[in-house]
Amino acid sequence: MFDYLVVGSGLYGAVFAHEAAKKGKKVKVIEKRNHIAGNIYTKETEGIQVHQYGAHIFHTSDKSVWEYVQQFAEFNRYTNSPIANYHGEIYNLPFNMNTFNKLWGVITPDEAKQKIEEQRSVLKGKQPENLEEQAISLVGTDIYEKLIKSYTEKQWGRACTELPSFIIKRLPVRFTYDNNYFNDIYQGIPIGGYTQIVEKMLEHPNIEVELNVDFFENRANYETVAKKIVYTGMIDQYFDYEHGVLEYRSLRFETEALNQENFQGNAVVNYTDGETPYTRIIEHKHFEFGTQEKTVITREYSKEWKQGDEPYYPVNDQKNSELYRKYYKLAQAQENVIFGGRLGLYKYFDMHQVIKAALHAVKKELKD
Ligand code: FDA
């Protein structure tokens, strides 16, 4: 008998399995996809590591997590500096002095602040009642119209006037000429891709991995193979949707290899106009400063989620949050099941947060 059955070979499951195995526990990992690594999976095409489930940039300010992950890969110096394409006009993100200079010709932070202040004042101090008003109250009309409105509408499939204001509580505005998207101290992309990280974590004599198997297709059996289960699948599915179905936003990716060296000159370009149907194009080689003859790009489309689709982003509105709380209560009552990861906890987590959470869970579990 195994000590743990880990359902899902994503980052959470892999960290848990690795740490438990190191402590002498026998672990079985099952994965319904035909590969390990969950959404951080990367696959080599044309000599380029292609991020199969969307762009993944590792960033953290937690030194212990940064040091932890270095055991499994060497990281390059990639700094995320996405750009926005609005009808062929190019702007730097996040909103910073480069963006403001391009928009208005302003040079100094004071000029930029004054411009934003003028544009915010169209709301005349009105309490924002929807996402449109919220965005204008934070950054003014020009940035909203060119860089937020249509992009957000494509992401959510609804007009900004119909979206709740809480979706954008904050909009990072930087009054320096700094295009680094993240504020974290550590940032980079693993040289050789992300899959090797999970591969190395699972490479242990105490770990057995089985791919292409869904926990729910043989649940009665899987519930008897180990003393405890670490479950990283969808929490509502675990309880057979007894309170209802939690909602997600989904994505569709279109990937193609192109017979040219450099397609867009940057890893991430967001399309912020309403006419372009996709939200962004990723050119994978720029994550690793690639010099290959060919390039690989992925167009990312936002899409309504229905049961059976790949669940990407939890919808943390009131309805779904209340539903999740019901499942959370049920989960708390399960003595021999640990719920973890983005699907098990119905929460968007960055990779560093998943690592931290899994390390915490395994430490608590093994009481060391
Ligand atoms: P993950 O979903 O990776 O793993 C769960 C695994 O369980 C999956 O492999 C699934 O197939 C399997 N599974 C589910 N149900 C099962 C069942 N019934 N039986 C068997 N197996 C089952 N983070 C970051 O730090 N920087 C970034 O740039 C990005 N970018 C990004 C882009 C996009 C588009 C998304 C959606 C997410 C990001 N992230 C990110 C977040 C990152 O993807 C996330 O932190 C980790 O992948 C979460 O790992 P988990 O193990 O929790 O889930």
The ipTM estimated for the assembled molecules is 0.99
| Residue-wise pLDDT tens digits, 70-87 | 999 999 999 999 999 999
Indicate if 153 belongs to the active site: no
Q: How far is CA 43 from CA 197, 199, 258, 298, in A?
A: 13, 13, 16, 13
| Residue-wise pLDDT tens digits, 174-188 | 999 999 999 999 999
Q: Which CATH class is domain 2-79+186-247+310-366?
A: alpha beta
| Residue-wise pLDDT tens digits, 93-144 | 999 999 999 999 999 999 999 999 999 999 888 899 999 999 999 999 999 9
Q: Report how far residue 357's alpha carbon sits from residue 147's, in angstroms, rounded to the nearest whole number.
A: 34
Q: Structural domain boundaries of the chain?
A: 2-79+186-247+310-366, 94-168
Q: Which residues contact 182 (CB under 8 A, 6 or more apart)?
A: 57, 59, 80
Measured on CA atoms in the order 66, 67, 70, 76, is the torsion positive or negative? positive
The angle at the Cα of 244, spanning 323 to 306, to the nearest 5 degrees, equals: 105
- In 196-326, DSSP assigns E strands to 207-210, 226-231, 248-258, 268-271, 280-283, 295-304, 313-314
| Residue-wise pLDDT tens digits, 261-293 | 999 999 999 999 999 999 999 999 999 999 999
- Which one is catalytic: 41, 280, 283, 365? 280
CA of 325 to the centre of ligand 1 (A): 21
Task: Tell me the whole-structure pTM to 2 decimals.
Answer: 0.96
Beta bridge partners of 254: 299
Backbone torsions φ then ψ of 55, nearest 5 degrees = -60, 130
Q: Report how far residue 228's alpha carbon sits from residue 226's, in angstroms, rounded to the nearest whole number.
A: 5
Determine how many CB atoms are found less than 10 A away from the CB of residue 186.
18
Indicate if 299 belongs to the active site: no
Indicate if 174 belongs to the active site: yes
| Residue-wise pLDDT tens digits, 319-360 | 999 999 999 999 999 999 999 999 999 999 999 999 999 999
Question: Is the CB of residue 258 less than 8 Å from the CB of residue 299?
Answer: no
Which residue minimizes the CA distance to atom 24 of ligand 1? 350
Q: How confident is the model at residue 172 (pLDDT cuts 50, 70, 90)?
A: confident
For the chain, what percentages of helix, strand and coil (3-state, to nearest 5) are there? 35, 20, 40
